[in-house]
Amino acid sequence: MPGKKRCFASVKALRRLNPALLCEVLSKFPGYLAARKLSLPAAPDSKNMPYAAIQDACMAGDIEPGLDDVLFCVSALNSKQGWDKLQQEAAHQKRPLKFRTDGMAHADLAMKAWLADWPRNKDLLEHALTRAQMHARSSYVPQFRQWG
């Protein structure tokens, strides 16, 4: 949807991500980066990342839909439950996630899963999020009365 932005709205949120993984995800959208005149560091770390420019690119009304989707899903799956759903989806699709996970935040794990076996895993996050939402508990709790 044009103009509908769902991904990271603040530099603070972007700074929580692993800089190298964030750059690797962003690099999958070279046309968009070029159009936004956004260049990424060759050896990204928290000190040399152009976070303000990345935030501007993420909040642009013309954000590439695929980029918006992946960043939104990374944000939405940023929990232990999200990682569990992602692993379940990978197993369901017979796409095992074979990479080291120690020391990684849940959002970083989601980015790593999306990047694993590129471009085959491009839909993995979206499917995991959809399944998580389908199986989430509803806030609706029916009230039953006993007629007496």
**Residue ranges in the chain modelled with pLDDT below 50:** 1-3, 139, 148
**Surface-to-core class of residue 24, CB atoms within 10 Å of its CB (0-12 exposed, 13-18 middle, 19+ buried):** middle
- Which residue shows structure tokens 């929990």? 79
Please give the pLDDT value at position 133.
74
User: In angstroms, what CA-CA distances link 6 with 10, 71, 75, 79, 87?
Assistant: 12, 8, 9, 18, 23
Radius of gyration for the chain, computed over Cα atoms and rounded to the nearest angstrom: 18
Please give the pLDDT value at position 131.
78
Please give the pLDDT value at position 60.
85
Please give the pLDDT value at position 96.
87
Please give the pLDDT value at position 136.
61
> Which one-letter amino acid corresponds to residue 101?
T
